[in-house]
Amino acid sequence: MARVLEFKLPDLGEGLTEAEIVRWLVDVGDVVTIDQPVVEVETAKAMVEVPCPYGGVVTARFGEEGAELPVGAPLLTVAVESAEGASVRGTSASGPSADRNTGSGEGIRPSGDGTGPAGESSGNVLVGYGTAAPAARRRRVRPSAFTAPLSSAPAPAPAPSSSPTPGIGAGEPMTAASTAAGASASASASTSAPAPASVARSSSVAPVAPVAVGHSSAADSGQMEGADENHGPVAVISPLVRRLARQHGLDLRHIAGSGRDGLILRADVESAIRGADDKRSADPEVQSVSESEPVAGAGERIPLRGVRGAVADKLSRSRREIPDATCWVDADATELMAARAAMNGAGTGTGGAAPKISVLALLARICTAALSRYPELNSTVDADAREIVRLPAVHLGFAAQTERGLVVPVVRDAHSRNAESISEEIGRLTEAARAGKLTPAQLTGGTFTLNNYGVFGVDGSTPIINHPEAAMLGVGRIVAKPWVHQGELAVRQVVQLSLTFDHRVCDGGTAGGFLRYVADCVEQPALLLRAL
């Protein structure tokens, strides 16, 4: 006899709350083995294949290709063998997967279900992220304005209601299968473990309001997100609901929630949007404008999501929080280009031609040398503590344009690499970026960014700092220009360098000194020998 287990979209790390289904790798009725990839999803960081921790027969899929699901929403259900608690393993029952589940006997619980006993899954939804549930811990549940006091008498069963069940994404329909997904989420919520007896006996502790599947950041602390100092907390859990309201210019404080304890659902926001549209359409002035000329914003609408949405959010936050300033200088790159040609023309002696070193790699090596002299620019600002945090290592990000948009892969420990090593790592990360195979870990953790916009044929720019870093160096195209060299007018290879920096971490003198040193190394690459 088989029983059906539900596999939910796992937490992909780095604070990601949602993912878009790009391609299903299995169909309903297919037999899957443990750790077999079942769906390809695109997050704001990268495109990844998600393996299923169960082995069995796929009985349902939730979400069509192109649909966006929040973390924790059901992906698919699998019918597994239930005899003695063993799952259907197919050909992998005697392989490494079986060994993982019979070693310690500690019972790893996958995040897709979180309720199964030991041995039902591998726990390896994503390598590097894992699916094991965190160890059980006690925490106090703080009462809030949206929770009711706990009485000693059992709570009465809720009366039947015709309103939609708040399940996936706080009641928002996502696909044609959302009804089944909502039912699964409701069943999971109704069978959750009861509160500890010590909590039940305390009259000063209130139960936490029901939390929508897939949103746990604020709900785990028993409080709603978005508290407002003047108007109190806003009863919203789903970030999708918040984004929808923000896109339509709605104030959530003025929307009455239809969910439990006044929780604002997606249906409430959509109703408010329709009401606002009806009001505008009924306004004679608006009608007269629409009849005479097109209304602004009536053109094609492109959702800000995935990589484009992540870039928009980060750049907006940078402009909002960082008081940046930009300085720039022109530099004669003739000697740098000659040095690169000499490096690439040299042989290894035994292994044939040496690996080619890119101009970007040479500039990256110059940046690491400059940051060792001006460590203020390899730092970040802790605004809450009002402290500048100087970072010991240089993790150098570089902007790479791909078909999926702009991404910033990170070269780890760039300060300890030579130009050849940096060039090889940049090449490897660039290929992974173009193939959409970069992991979130390869796209985060940078401390300084190098932006080569010269590949687009432009000379200058005022870069926006990659929050929460403190500076970014922009490099324009290297082009032949008239230049005074050794007292005479000559044609030289000239490049414009621009540095945007956080004025909180340093003043213009430090930023100017950094940029001047970079320019000097571009004009005289031999200066780098001092930094070796």
Instruction: Please compute, for residue 152, the number of CA atoms within 13 A of its CA located in the half-sphere on the CB side.
Output: 3
CB atoms within 10 A of CB 478: 19
Q: Is 410 within 8 Å of 444 (Cβ atoms)? A: yes
Given strand 68-70, what is the order of strands in its sheet? 47-52, 36-42, 18-24, 68-70
Mutual orientation of helices 266-282 and 284-292 as an angle, nearest 10°? 80
Please list the residues that pair with 411 across neighbouring strands.
Answer: 396
CB atoms within 10 A of CB 27: 8
Q: Which letter does DSSP use for residue 30 in this model?
A: -
**Cα(401)–Cα(221) distance, integer angstroms:** 39
Query: Among 228, 251, 283, 507, which one carries the catalytic annotation?
Result: 507
Structure tokens at 378: 């390899």
Structure tokens at 164: 């939609």
Q: Is 119 within 8 Å of 102 (Cβ atoms)? A: yes
467 catalytic per annotation:
no
Identity of the residue numbered 223: Q
Q: Is 500 within 8 Å of 461 (Cβ atoms)? A: no
Please list the residues that pair with 57 across neighbouring strands.
Answer: 31, 79
278 catalytic per annotation:
no
The Cα angle at residue 397 between residues 395 and 402, in degrees rounded to 5: 150
**Three-state SS sequence of 319-337:** HHHCCEEEEEEEEECHHHH
Close Cβ partners of 247 (under 8 Å, ≥ 6 residues apart): none
Burial readout 355-366 (b: 16 or more C-beta within 10 A, e: otherwise) = eebbbbbbbbbb
Structure tokens at 39: 């769906």
Close Cβ partners of 302 (under 8 Å, ≥ 6 residues apart): 308
Query: Among 30, 35, 503, 520, which one carries the catalytic annotation?
Result: 503
3-state secondary structure of 14: coil
Quick one: which of 97, 75, 99, 79 has its CA closest to 31? 79
**Cα(103)–Cα(111) distance, integer angstroms:** 20
Instruction: Please compute, for residue 10, the number of CA atoms within 13 A of its CA located in the half-sphere on the CB side.
Output: 29
Close Cβ partners of 453 (under 8 Å, ≥ 6 residues apart): 399, 461, 463, 474, 475, 476
Active site residues: 503, 507
